[in-house]
Structure 1
Amino acid sequence: MKKVTGIGGIFFKCKDPKQMQEWYKTHLGLDTNDYGATFEWREAEDTSKEGATQWSPFSETTKYFEPSTKEFMINYRVADLEALVEELKKEGVTIVDEIATYDYGKFVHIMDVEGNKIELWEPK
């Protein structure tokens, strides 16, 4: 079973997310918005399929990364999230929450062996 198909996003804590977005916009040319920046691309195997990777600075006080105490979180794109979660449960991986479904895909959070919270995303 294919698990991770790519990186869906890079999320990190900082003192001032708006200032961070402006710095990256000014000095590195990121096209930022309220959520950070979105990098759009096409799949190599089928160029008719589009994808995106999100870059997002979060406030250093965000609770979104909990229960992890780390300064970052990575979002991985996956295929068949429900089957993957069942497989991860059998392997003893900590599943933080239930699968949530939105108009842009399904999400769930897990913890790795060093306590990093990981976001798994099955795009629509």
Structure 2
Amino acid sequence: MNDTAGPRITGLGGVFYVAADPEATRAWYRDMLGIDGEYGPQLAWSDEPKPNPYSLISHFKDDQYIKPGKGGFMINLRVHDLDGFCKQLKAKGVKVLDKADEGYGKFAWILDPNGVKIELWEQVAEELP
């Protein structure tokens, strides 16, 4: 979209939640997932190699998809080379709960040190849903 489209939402600005030890949580995201920033893990869209990248806000009737995560929410992170990234995580001692290939994308799930479920997603389809 260009600037002439008028005021609008342009993307996900962040995910915020309470952690007992924010510094340790930031260190885990830096050391295990390789994302860091002054106020917490920071992601730049300019780093995304796939065409037509997008973010999603999705709603569920119950927490079955979120389990075994805590807090009634989950964080979805885009990943380039999901299989290679999961190998790196396993080498660091991070347990990959499950993996799936849904055709439009490949997925894997882990828990952060606070029990928050993280869905890792490699966009496969180039067209927007």
Q: TM-score, normalised by structure 2?
A: 0.56
Q: What secondary structure is seen at the aligned counterpart in 2 of 1:119? A: strand
Which stretch of structure 1 is more off in the superposition, 79-88 or 44-53? 44-53
Residue 4 of structure 1 corresponds to: none
Structure with higher RCO (Cα < 8 A, 6+ apart): 1
Inter-partner Cα distance in structure 1 for 2:106 and 2:119: 10
Residue 55 of structure 1 corresponds to: 57
Q: Which structure 1 segments of 5+ residues have no match?
A: 1-6, 11-42
Q: What secondary structure is seen at the aligned counterpart in 1 of 2:58? A: strand
Matched residue type, 2:87: E
Matched residue type, 2:57: W
Q: Which structure 2 segments of 5+ residues have no match?
A: 1-11, 16-44, 125-129
Q: TM-score, normalised by structure 1?
A: 0.58
Which stretch of structure 1 is more off in the superposition, 43-52 or 86-95? 43-52
Larger relative strand fraction: 1
**Cα-to-partner distance string for 1:50-80 (whole Å, 9 max, x where unaligned):** 1111111222x32111111212111100011
CA contact (8 A) 2:63 2:72 kept: no
The number of aligned residues is 83
Residue 81 of structure 1 corresponds to: 82
Residue 38 of structure 2 corresponds to: none
**Identity of counterpart residues, as a percentage?**
38
Residue 109 of structure 1 corresponds to: 109
What is the CA-CA distance between 1:116 and the residue it aligns to? 0.6
Aligned alpha-carbon RMSD (Å): 2.7
